[in-house]
Amino acid sequence: MLVGSYRRNLDDKMRLAIPKPLRDALGFPEKTDLFLTPGTDGSLAIYTAERLTELGAALAQKSPAAQETRAFMRLFYAQAQPAEIDNQGRLRIPTELGKLANLEGEVVLLGVRDHMEIWSSHAWEEFLGRTQPMYDQLAERAFGEARNE
């Protein structure tokens, strides 16, 4: 399980050091193949190949005639890129995806159960400021939905 939040600085080659707890949870060094995709709320998402395949299977269940589904799949898959963790535990962020999420300097790397997210520090602080005060309400809704209430 991927958990935690980690502040990191991108180097001049847009490389991000993945913390050891997250590398271990991913199965590094045996598993190094990942996919970097547009995320939500201005972030980028990092998926294992297995998890990306599961997401694709879930999307395949949606109607291909639905305009929103087609638009999302185009945006998501056209911008997704393979990524690899190097021997020093770093992942290089492609320039286009870095621009999409306004990444430069300090970033925040999150473990979010089955994937990781990369946020600009500024965007993460704004997100926390908006949502942390609603934590209890969000928990009630999330757990209520999980129980199909």
Q: What's the whole-model pTM score?
A: 0.92
pLDDT at 148: 58
Q: What percent of the chain has pLDDT over 90?
A: 85
Q: Is the pLDDT of residue 146 over 70?
A: no
Across the range 56-66, mean pLDDT stands at: 89
- Under a CB-based contact definition with an 8 Å cutoff, are residues 101 and 119 in contact? yes
Question: What does the domain layout of the chain look like in residue ranges?
Answer: 2-146
CA distance 79 to 77: 5
Specify the fold of 2-146. Chemotaxis protein chec (3.40.1550)
What is the C-alpha separation between 50 and 74, in angstroms, rounded? 20
For residues 47 and 93, give the distance between their C-alpha atoms in angstroms, rounded to a whole number.
Answer: 13
pLDDT (0 to 100) of residue 20: 95
Q: d(Cα 101, Cα 63) in Å, to the nearest integer?
A: 29
Q: What is the mean pLDDT of residues 44-56?
A: 95
Q: Read off the pLDDT of each residue in 64-73 and give the average, rounded to a whole number.
A: 90
